[in-house]
């Protein structure tokens, strides 16, 4: 039996290896990935500067001249790295973007140390394994590979690893570069995070290309009260006012609808899916409301694709165990469809809150960019490589439900596309959550996918 089985097993291994970069390049990408993951670049407590420096050291060792490497940013601990791989200059550059800050992760919330790259059961675990240090590591590893192979593109390839994507703080690397060093990152178009491969029950469904995205509004709900001694409670209680408002919000859903990007997405999904949901997805693409209700209920990701969402993410209140609260607040994080206005969301939220004791205010400035045009070269190339690597898997334009730094680039006139070729189970997305992970196979396949894609777009 063994002699019969062996050739089949070897054949399977060879087939798998074809979709992988060469061993030495896999090792390089893994080393860089590990190095990046193990640098604590938490958005509030950490620093992206060591990531930028680590990348710069590797690039210099690979022969990139110092004059083509830039490190700098808004403040010393929020540095960005920009490196230019020189082409003939016949065409305008392409920009490859990834952010190197991560959402905070506490050891006690995780099953393992979030700041160690741990390979277990076919997955890489660690904060940033999915969002967004895989793409950052792969951009650098692939650039080093092009250099070693003597690849001469017709356009410069620029890689920017940037700070402060998470939370959109005042030190955002893309915003800072656009304002202070635009010439370093100016490009015909950019590739970024925000589009990935979708899997369901181990099956690859689609390779997504993000062309537009929801935008973000954080609202603060605030109740103030004169308070008093907790031994003599009264019904007019700041925490109860807030709790009532949050309970009404929990039961509320924004209207379900599609736009041109999401209708195209659901039409493609209808072709890829099987079973009862297949017909519903096709109906959603046609605008059928009842089908939207069923599809939204079937998946948090589909729900978020079909409507603006607002959810409570933080609460705060009270000042002593034995005092009636004088203050209760909540942060409401809204992810808004591009076609819904700020005014619409604010008015709707106030109607849902329905309590004039609860003050509703917007927390920060709102950034919003246009959708990117469907570039023929990008979609044709991405489709061809996707179909070669994962036969039958469609390449699908999407609107992302989360926000990315692509919005700054789009607003500045650099069309941006979220594309990775990393595949994730769409019902087990762990970005920003505990035990964030990336399939080991998918990491290397994504490395190869992005290598081929950029090479083809730049040659
Ligand atoms: Zn991210």
Task: Indicate the SS3 state at residue 450.
Answer: helix
Distance 97 CA to ligand 1 centre (A): 11
Q: What is the pLDDT of residue 3?
A: 39
The pTM for the full model equals 0.80
Assign domain 2-194+404-458 one CATH number from 3.40.630.10, 3.60.15.10, 3.40.109.10, 3.40.50.300: 3.40.630.10
Quote the CA–CA distance of 313 and 324 in Å, as a whole number.
23
Q: What is the mean pLDDT of residues 34-50?
A: 95
Q: What is the pLDDT of residue 199?
A: 92
Name the band, by pLDDT with cuts 50, 70 and 90, for residue 5. Answer: very low
Distance 354 CA to ligand 1 centre (A): 34
Distance 166 CA to ligand 1 centre (A): 7
Distance 145 CA to ligand 1 centre (A): 24
b/e per residue, 233-256, with b = 16+ CB within 10 A?
Answer: eeeebbbbbbbbbbeebeeeebeb
Question: Residue 340 in contact with residue 306, Cβ under 8 Å?
Answer: no
Distance 261 CA to ligand 1 centre (A): 21
Quote the CA–CA distance of 307 and 334 in Å, as a whole number.
11
Distance 334 CA to ligand 1 centre (A): 17
**DSSP single-letter state for residue 358:** S
Quote the CA–CA distance of 89 and 118 in Å, as a whole number.
41
Q: What is the pLDDT of residue 16?
A: 56
Distance 41 CA to ligand 1 centre (A): 13
Question: Residue 106 in contact with residue 425, Cβ under 8 Å?
Answer: no
Distance 132 CA to ligand 1 centre (A): 5
Distance 197 CA to ligand 1 centre (A): 15
Distance 182 CA to ligand 1 centre (A): 22
Strand partners, 255: none
Q: What is the pLDDT of residue 168?
A: 63
Q: Nearest CA to 148 among 24, 56, 35?
A: 24
pLDDT single digits (tens) 334-368:
999 988 999 999 999 999 999 999 999 999 888 88
Distance 128 CA to ligand 1 centre (A): 8
Strand partners, 71: 81
Distance 165 CA to ligand 1 centre (A): 7
Distance 200 CA to ligand 1 centre (A): 21
Map out the domains of the chain as residue ranges. Answer: 2-194+404-458, 215-362
Looking at the predicted structure, is the pLDDT value of residue 8 above 70? no
Distance 402 CA to ligand 1 centre (A): 9
Which residues, in sequence order, are CB contacts of 279 under 8 Å at separation 6+? Answer: 270, 291
Sheet of 359-362: strand order equals: 309-317, 327-336, 215-224, 359-362
- The H or E element containing residue 61 is helix 49-61
- The H or E element containing residue 276 is helix 276-285
Which residues, in sequence order, are CB contacts of 243 under 8 Å at separation 6+? Answer: none
Distance 164 CA to ligand 1 centre (A): 10
Distance 404 CA to ligand 1 centre (A): 6
Distance 12 CA to ligand 1 centre (A): 34
Phi, psi at residue 17, to the nearest 5°?
Answer: -65, -30
Quote the CA–CA distance of 171 and 163 in Å, as a whole number.
7
Quote the CA–CA distance of 212 and 222 in Å, as a whole number.
32
CATH topology of domain 215-362: Alpha-Beta Plaits (3.30.70)
Please give the residue that has the higher pLDDT: either 136 or 260: 136
């Amino acid at each position: 039996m063994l002699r019969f089985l062996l050739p089949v097993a070897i054949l399977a291994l060879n087939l798998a290896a074809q979709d992988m970069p060469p061993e030495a390049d896999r090792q390089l990408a893994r080393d860089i990935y590990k190095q990046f993951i193990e640098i604590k670049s938490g958005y509030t407590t950490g620093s992206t500067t060591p990531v930028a420096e680590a990348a710069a050291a590797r690039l210099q060792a690979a022969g990139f001249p110092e004059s083509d490497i830039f490190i700098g940013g808004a403040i010393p601990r929020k540095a960005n790295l920009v490196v230019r791989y020189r082409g003939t200059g016949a065409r305008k550059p392409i920009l490859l973007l990834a952010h190197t800050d991560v959402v905070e992760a506490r050891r006690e919330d995780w099953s393992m140390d979030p700041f160690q790259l741990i390979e277990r059961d076919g997955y890489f675990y660690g904060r940033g394994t999915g969002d967004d240090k895989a793409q950052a590591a792969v951009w650098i590893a692939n650039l080093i590979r092009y250099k070693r192979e003597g690849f001469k593109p017709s356009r410069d390839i620029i890689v920017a690893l940037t700070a402060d994507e998470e939370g959109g703080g005042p030190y955002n690397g893309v915003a800072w570069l656009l304002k202070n060093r635009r010439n370093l990152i100016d490009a015909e178009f950019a590739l970024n995070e925000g589009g990935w491969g979708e899997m369901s029950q181990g099956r690859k469904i689609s390779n997504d290309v993000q062309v537009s995205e929801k935008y973000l509004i954080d609202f603060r709900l605030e109740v103030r009260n004169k308070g008093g001694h907790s031994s003599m409670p009264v019904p007019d209680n700041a925490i109860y006012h807030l709790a009532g408002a949050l309970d009404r919000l929990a039961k509320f859903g924004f209207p379900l609808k599609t736009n041109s990007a999401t209708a195209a997405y659901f039409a493609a999904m209808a072709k890829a899916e099987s079973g009862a949901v297949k017909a519903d997805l096709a109906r959603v693409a046609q605008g059928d409301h009842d089908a939207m209700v069923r599809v939204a209920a079937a998946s948090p990701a589909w729900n978020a694709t079909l409507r603006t969402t607002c959810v409570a993410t933080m609460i705060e209140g009270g000042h002593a165990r034995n005092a009636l609260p004088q203050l209760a607040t909540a942060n409401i994080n809204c992810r808004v469809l591009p076609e819904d206005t700020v005014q619409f969301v604010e008015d709707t939220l106030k109607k849902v809150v329905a309590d004039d004791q609860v003050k509703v205010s917007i927390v920060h400035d709102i950034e919003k960019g246009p959708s990117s045009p469907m570039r023929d070269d990008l979609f044709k190339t991405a489709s061809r490589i996707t179909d070669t690597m994962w036969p039958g898997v469609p390449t699908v334009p999407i609107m992302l439900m989360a926000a990315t730094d692509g919005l700054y680039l789009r607003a500045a006139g650099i069309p941006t596309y979220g594309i990775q070729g990393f595949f994730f189970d769409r019902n087990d997305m762990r970005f920003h959550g505990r035990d964030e992970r990336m399939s080991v196979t998918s990491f290397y396949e994504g490395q190869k996918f992005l290598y081929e894609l950029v090479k083809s777009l730049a040659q």
